[in-house]
Amino acid sequence: MEISLILTLHDQGGVSHCQKPVTFPDETTIKELSKAINSFWSIHENYQELYHKGKQIISLKSTLRQLHFKDDDVIVVKHAALKCWVNFLSHCDVVNDTKADRNDRKASAYLAIDLSAQLESSKFLLAYADFGTTWVQKRGQALRLIDRLLPAFKESAKAFFASLDPESTVEFEPKTVGIMSGTIAKVNDAELQIKIVVEAYILRLILGITDLNSGNFWC
């Protein structure tokens, strides 16, 4: 026996972004249903949250028949990274709040960019394409705030690599790949040349920059 269902993709506010009518045998498991949802909206099974009549579906081995699904029942699908999206928007609001403390704005900018990377890795924006423009704009605002600190960032990088090898030299050049933009730090010494291709916030995480203005590092 087959069951006709309606899959609807919701955001954090309960707004439907897409609906898809589907038909499955009643012996279809939730795990099998999740694989189908992945093929529809590129949401990996590990990132899916499924709801039926307001309750989250937890058991992956249960079948549609065992869960008492009927024709035209609605399954609400949410991406687990919606929480990350909400936090990203919240930190971006702080970034754009000119009345907020400068250090708070800077900290929120770094956190927003970190959250942005998590959204990308989870393919969140493939599911919620409507959020794409907002993501690009707000991520760009966070990056621009950090880029104002680029001169201090360069001095900090020079000081760090000099502490490792006093004979080394560091050169910088811009780097853009698609919508990603950042800075290349080319570190040279007598034996080898190392190219570190990172955006400022990534270098901060790798090297442990505690204060871009003071040029201090810890490792």
pLDDT in tens, 30-70: 999 999 999 999 999 999 999 999 999 999 999 999 999 99
- Residue after which a domain boundary falls, among 101, 131, 147: 147
Q: Residues 117, 158: one domain?
A: no
What's the average model confidence in pLDDT over 20-32? 98
Which helix (H) or strand (E) segment holds residue 47: the answer is none
- Residue after which a domain boundary falls, among 62, 79, 96: 79
Q: Residues 52, 34: one domain?
A: yes
Q: Which pLDDT belongs to residue 211? A: 41
Q: Residues 39, 23: one domain?
A: yes
Q: Residues 27, 75: one domain?
A: yes
Q: Residues 6, 75: one domain?
A: yes
pTM: 0.68
Q: Residues 64, 118: one domain?
A: no
pLDDT in tens, 175-207: 655 545 566 777 776 555 554 444 444 444 444
Q: Residues 178, 210: one domain?
A: yes
| CATH code of 35's domain | 3.10.20.90
Can you read off the two tokens belonging to residue 4?
């006709």
What is the domain range of residue 12?
Answer: 2-79
Q: Is the pLDDT of residue 159 over 80?
A: no
Contacts of 92 (CB under 8 A, 6+ apart): 108, 112, 138, 139, 141, 142
Q: Residues 74, 100: one domain?
A: no
- Residue after which a domain boundary falls, among 60, 79, 98: 79
Q: Residues 171, 133: one domain?
A: no
Asked if 105 and 153 count as a contact pair (C-beta separation under 8 A), the reply is no
Domains held by the chain: number: 3
Torsion of CA 49, 44, 110, 177, to 10 degrees: -150
